[in-house]
Structure 1
Amino acid sequence: MADFLAAFGLVFVIEGLIFAACPGPAKRAMMSVIETPEQTLRLIGIGSAVAGLIVVWLVRWT
């Protein structure tokens, strides 16, 4: 559970830094997400989740 909370906190840190460092491009990226079809977003989400699981697996069990 501690690892999960640490990872969750890091998500907030990274997103906060992105919005603090370059708010204009971040807003444009959000507008792009709104215009992207749901099926494309779903595929990107699944791909990102799988990539994240692979990274965690490589870091923790190798």
Structure 2
Amino acid sequence: MKDSLLTALGLVLIIEGLLPLLMPQAWRDTFQRLIVLKDGQLRFIGLISVLGGFLLTMFSR
């Protein structure tokens, strides 16, 4: 289980690092758009992300 968790964390870091590595201006623009969102909107984005990750995890088994 520990190995799987570390592998998953490593993959998240790789995927998260691709956008600033390959397209830093688009990454910066995205964060500037996120800053102006209200807390409820950011929470909704987080909820959708968590649900999407959960569904992907469940369907990949």
> Deviation at 1:44?
1.2
Aligned mates of 2:60, 2:28 — CA distance in 1: 32
Compute the TM-score of the two structures, normalised by the length of structure 2. Answer: 0.87
Compute the TM-score of the two structures, normalised by the length of structure 1. Answer: 0.86
Q: Any stretches of 5+ residues in structure 2 without a counterpart? A: none
> Deviation at 1:47?
1.3
Q: Which runs of 4+ in 1 moved over 6 A?
A: none
Q: Deviations over 1:4-43 (max 9, x none)?
A: 2111111111121111100001001011111111101101
Aligned mates of 1:43, 1:21 — CA distance in 2: 27
Q: How many residues align?
A: 60
What is the RMSD of the two structures over their aligned residues, measured on CA atoms?
Answer: 1.0
Q: Any stretches of 5+ residues in structure 1 without a counterpart? A: none
Counterpart check, 1:8 vs 2:9: yes
